[in-house]
Chain A
């Protein structure tokens, strides 16, 4: 859907992006991850021509974006910003109608689309006539998303979409976003500096540093097989938590013990992460859970100890 080939951006004598190439497939969610100043936002902004490339080529659905007038290009790409960028003088409904109006949709079609979106994004109808400053931060963010999705663009660019929210709201909304049906078949490029957000939302993560892509791949690839010292250092601080988040019970199923007299323990699905297993243990105030392999029907038991020994065993196995 989107390809970048040797893309370079220079601002005066400083090089913000120093030769970046990657491809985003149809329906794929790609996260550009990195510290501030690594060039991730500049890379994103070049895709909808808010910033023009210094050299290199970007194509969208096979067409060189340089050959498409910028306004036309942007109307077909959803764009979500950190500070939402909602028009303060427009109501929720008017904000959502901006791009459809630019595309000269009929009022009827716009109205229908807005109601449809409100449903999909799970926003209450009564906020349609409210102004952005009357909404909560989470609602504003969702309206921002709804606005970007209004004309049903195949591609969505998101620049730190949850950056302005507090940590708790942020966690909730990130989870909610990852489950939204409307986003399932969109091609999404998302910029963030938040590792957990990247892990939660990205099919693939591109870790950037100093204007270059250092490593790309699935979250577990980056976590368990860092190519460079920079990559492992980048995840070091939250390593344990990230591992628990990105490893599933089915991954360690082989390393778990067979059930013996733990029949009273609650049941957990094998598609849950280790983190979720720990949460359930704490919530139920139990020492063990039962896990069932959906294919073989085998049931095993898992407790705090076996979770961590299982994880260690998995890591050893992967490193071999």
Chain B
């Protein structure tokens, strides 16, 4: 396949969406930047007057800066929910440090004798600030704004995790879907945006001395203009709001399938898996996608809508292992297969519930389960080789990884190295293909659609049949990648649409077709 041609085609097909996301991205970046300037510059001036406060203020803004962006967005959800507001506040907090620090540094580094002569000539404090200190520190302040802008363009990609839109929708969708073109369609504009604004601001910084007075007025005007971009794409409205993960948004057995087969037309935001259940529970979202075995279904009183047109194929979980490793350690396959058929849907939901909601560690849950099943054995000495087990970044995968780890330790002399939290399918699969890990638990449907990107004709031949799909996927994986699917664990963690139980019952919605009918009623 020619990737480059694919990218241009993808970008052309999606140009409307790219433009929307681009505008949202610019809007998010500059609304937060504007707030950061409005608050940061006066704060910087203030601490340059009250030097005693400088250390604590810069310290606090510095600490804010060190919070990982995902974590900061996570903190925002319980306080402010999802959407633009928490995203803007998080971005604002990131932009604050460079602006406050540079304003402070700029003003305190203005030549003392210049300030003294200004005072000596009879300028008031305000005149000194506006005519001497600010103009002379403007290059430093602008450098701070420039840093903040570039940081914000980058961090704003993460805003899509909490349903605030932006170019992150494509980037994370692409990572989840193993779709390089999609990643690039988000990443390239984001990178260009950062380079572009960095360049523009570097120019502003240089023309400074003489034309500062014009630039000072132009800057806020431009900022407000750019900020307003966020509101532009917001013209589609419907009764309900759906929050879908980036992965779901781009999949044929996801949002695309819903549109195609059910003709479902609903306003959507992209949101991360980690927060969507809570958002649905708190009535910030009405419909979300999810996994049918998810523990949070139970925790947040959600109801799965029946897939009456069968767009979601079976997703039976099984370990995918490099054949080379199976040959090297022949005892391994039999050990891993001990789990085959042991866990059905309700058991898996229960285990997930214990981990995700009751906050027990996946290791403990795995051990308890294996003991219950009389599969647990005390670890043997580690004298042979190392098996590297990977997992995607959600609870079920952590539990399965922990179980395999315990089984291998208890039954062989192999050492186990777990690499959990490898993001989405693409990252896990690439790690496996490139010999970074030896195995991870995968789902047949994901293998079929996301990794193999099986053509529609073959999919319809397979007819959603559990056995046929497993065999097809296993055969293709061995042929293409020298990877083997071991026996399925038993449960079917398929995609599902879900709603709050209460709302579903009130509106009498049981299937996805019911939902579609309700939405199209107007």
Contacts and interface: CB of A to CB of B under 8 A. Distances in A.
Interface in A56-102: 70-76, 79, 81-89, 98-99, 102
Contacts of B116: 50, 81, 85
B452 interface: no
A89 to B, nearest CB: 5
Interface in B181-211: 209
Contacts of A102: 121-123, 127
B142 interface: no
Interface string A213-254: 000000000000000000000000000000000000000000
A101 to B, nearest CB: 10
B92 to A, nearest CB: 30
A71 B114 contact: no
Contacts of A72: 122
B324 interface: no
A48 interface: yes
Given A84-B113, A85-B116, A88-B114, A75 B121 contact: yes
Given A88-B136, A89-B136, A89-B209, A71 B122 contact: yes
Contact of A71 (B113, B124, B135, B209): B124
A81 B113 contact: yes
Given A85-B114, A88-B114, A89-B135, A71 B123 contact: yes
B120 interface: yes
Contacts of A79: 117, 120-121
A87 B120 contact: no
A196 B104 CA distance: 43
A79 B123 CA distance: 13
Interface in B208-246: 209, 212
Chain B contact residues: helix, strand, loop or mixed: helix
B134 to A, nearest CB: 10
Interface string B96-134: 000000000000000101101111111110010000100
Interface residues of A, number: 24
B113 A83 contact: yes
Contacts of B111: 83, 85, 88
B123 to A, nearest CB: 7
Contacts of B123: 71, 98, 102
B113 A82 contact: yes
A98 B122 CA distance: 10
Nearest to A74: B122
A8 B122 CA distance: 24
A85 B117 CA distance: 5
A103 B119 CA distance: 14
B298 to A, nearest CB: 66
A74 B113 contact: no
Nearest to B117: A85
A85 B123 CA distance: 13
B363 to A, nearest CB: 63
Given A83-B113, A85-B116, A88-B114, A99 B136 contact: no
B113 A48 contact: no
A70 to B, nearest CB: 8
Contacts of A48: 120
B122 to A, nearest CB: 4
Contacts of B127: 102
Contacts of B135: 89
A83 B124 CA distance: 21
A141 to B, nearest CB: 13
A96 to B, nearest CB: 11
Nearest to A71: B122
A48 B117 CA distance: 12
Contacts of A82: 113
A48 B118 CA distance: 13
A82 B114 CA distance: 11
Interface string B280-314: 00000000000000000000000000000000000
A79 B120 CA distance: 6
A164 to B, nearest CB: 10
24 contacts: A48-B120, A50-B116, A50-B119, A50-B120, A72-B122, A74-B119, A74-B120, A74-B122, A76-B122, A81-B120, A82-B113, A83-B113, A85-B117, A85-B120, A87-B114, A87-B132, A88-B136, A98-B121, A99-B121, A99-B122, A102-B121, A102-B122, A147-B121, A157-B120
Given A75-B122, A98-B123, 19 more contacts: A50-B116, A70-B122, A71-B124, A74-B120, A74-B121, A81-B116, A81-B117, A82-B113, A84-B117, A85-B117, A85-B118, A85-B120, A86-B114, A87-B114, A88-B111, A89-B212, A98-B118, A102-B121, A147-B121
